[in-house]
Amino acid sequence: MKEFNYEKSLMKMRKKYKRKPYKEALEHVMWIKRDDKLYKTYEEYKDVYKNGDVNYAHIVMANPMLKDNSDFMDGPAIIMYSNHEWANQNPEKLIQVAKDIIGYRGAPEEVIPEELRPAVRKFMEDPDRPNFRFNYMLEGHNIDVHMAGMIVYRKFLPTGYLSADVFPVVTSKEHETVLVLPLSSWDKGMKVKFAENAVVDILEEDDYDEE
């Protein structure tokens, strides 16, 4: 089986999104309160959608209901992404970064590699709603990484649920908020990749016309 070309797919999605940024209002989820750090989503989403970039995110942790093909509500997740070109070509490798950070949770500081201590410390400060940036050396590449909490809106996922761990998001260097890329800007290849382990017919009529 031919290996999926994440870079080619990302370039298509960036082009589609730049041509038509998302401008609709973002619905408030029922469970969120003003003291929840994710409430900032509703204060920042317009600017993120207007001026943000498209990157790949990798799920670190998610509400189990989000991985269920049901009509259950939208929910929270912790993701990791990078603006680095190599990381966006190999987004599945970001899980190794997450494992290194989470793997040292609760460990004495002296056993944590010195270069990881600031990130582990930040994660431990708020493991449910982490939001911090750091640099990480992965397979010879010094990549910038953002570990963040986000609200996953099912309507923006081809299958309606998290049928895969890698998916496109809209991000901003100026804001903490991370948003799922609206479905209208996903390209056919990424839709198929996201749904390869799902039993859902995800392609719409106009998808078959894509080059």
**Please, are residues 125 and 42 in contact by the beta-carbon 8 Å criterion?**
no
* Domain locations in the chain as residue ranges: 6-21+32-209
pTM, entire model: 0.91
Supply the pLDDT for residue 51: 95
The residue behind tokens 């049901």 is 70
Other C-beta atoms lying within 10 Å of the C-beta of residue 51: 13
What average pLDDT does range 156-180 have in this prediction?
A: 96
Quick: pLDDT tens for 8-55: 999 999 999 999 999 999 999 999 999 999 999 999 999 999 999 999
